[in-house]
Structure 1
């Protein structure tokens, strides 16, 4: 029996694709306004690319997507055949062997085990160019719950711990935001010098 590299997301891809809403799009657009026009952006846990990758591509960014679900990556490639997409878990991804002006991980970090969250944040920090920016979502309170779609455990480390992980990864936390659905976002900058 092979391990499910998507952690249950491939099995529920159809339901996720049907339920995806534009909640969070405003927060990501505000973050993207701080990026250099047309820069390379890495979307970790991109899913089908709707609506976040679609908006970033429409705004002229050079989008690269990583998702561990073959069904999600197939949907992404169908929608955006000219964008780079890799079907692999973020914790094992080579991030296309390059650096990026921006990296987003919306709806992903809290799905990962605690140690993997720390590692992914640190790896994302090293994949940012100097001056590059990171955004990810996770509840501001430390808590755990079972994901509605996959039934698997989700864990938020809480705002204080996430800010600490960003600093330990060499990033400067630049703010936090909340979308109209109550989802919490963290932003950070890789120093230029």
Structure 2
């Protein structure tokens, strides 16, 4: 069973599309968010892919980054790009998150790849993996809808802002803000209750 949601079979296409280095879509928003974290923060990038541009933005802000991705091809490139950053090749729903807690977690472009029930489980897992006061940033549409992934042709599912807010609250996470980036990606920024 392909735990990468079709991204291992389409890794070359994704790498060409997404790996734009320091200034790829979402990098500026993630850098801005990262500046709200302590200077010595440890961040988990879930669905890290090759690390470009999200992990690269985090490392560029001086943060310690761990990565998780289910695509072996992308994890191998992540290892080459960030040889000092631990990375695990596993599906988020199966991950132990390195058996530790983090100051912050980012999941850019991941949540809507997962089935609805898995999204619910993953939000709780992310909350459990944050230290009290830890920050979470993830992207998913504000609208509840389904559409086709342009890379894998698999169905994508957004639960919508109201459901995500409900799931955050039930996981001891307080929504700080919602915003959109230059490409219209919708972000949820939350913090774990202290």
Show CA shifts across 1:74-106 (max 9, x none): 010011111000000000000000000000000
| 1:26 aligns to 2:28 (yes or no) | yes
Contact residue 10 and residue 151 of structure 2 kept, 8 A: yes
Contact residue 30 and residue 57 of structure 2 kept, 8 A: no
Cα deviation, residue 39, structure 1: 1.0
- What is residue 60 of structure 1 aligned with on the other side? 62
Cα deviation, residue 4, structure 1: 1.2
2: CA distance, partners of 1:73 / 1:37: 26
Aligned to 1:63, what secondary structure does the other structure show? Answer: strand
Unaligned runs of 5+ in 1: none
1: CA distance, partners of 2:131 / 2:168: 15
Show CA shifts across 1:17-70 (max 9, x none): 111141111211121111111211000000000011011112211100000000
Contact residue 65 and residue 85 of structure 1 kept, 8 A: yes
Cα deviation, residue 135, structure 1: 0.4
Aligned to 2:98, what secondary structure does the other structure show? Answer: helix
TM-score with structure 1 length normalisation?
0.96
Cα deviation, residue 7, structure 1: 1.7
Aligned to 1:187, what secondary structure does the other structure show? Answer: strand
- What is residue 172 of structure 2 aligned with on the other side? 170
**Alignment coverage as a number of residue pairs:** 190
2: CA distance, partners of 1:130 / 1:37: 17
List structure 1 segments (4+ residues) > 2 angstroms apart after TM superposition: none
Matches within 5 A, 1:23-172: 23-172=25-174
Contact residue 27 and residue 177 of structure 1 kept, 8 A: no
Q: CA RMSD in A?
A: 0.8
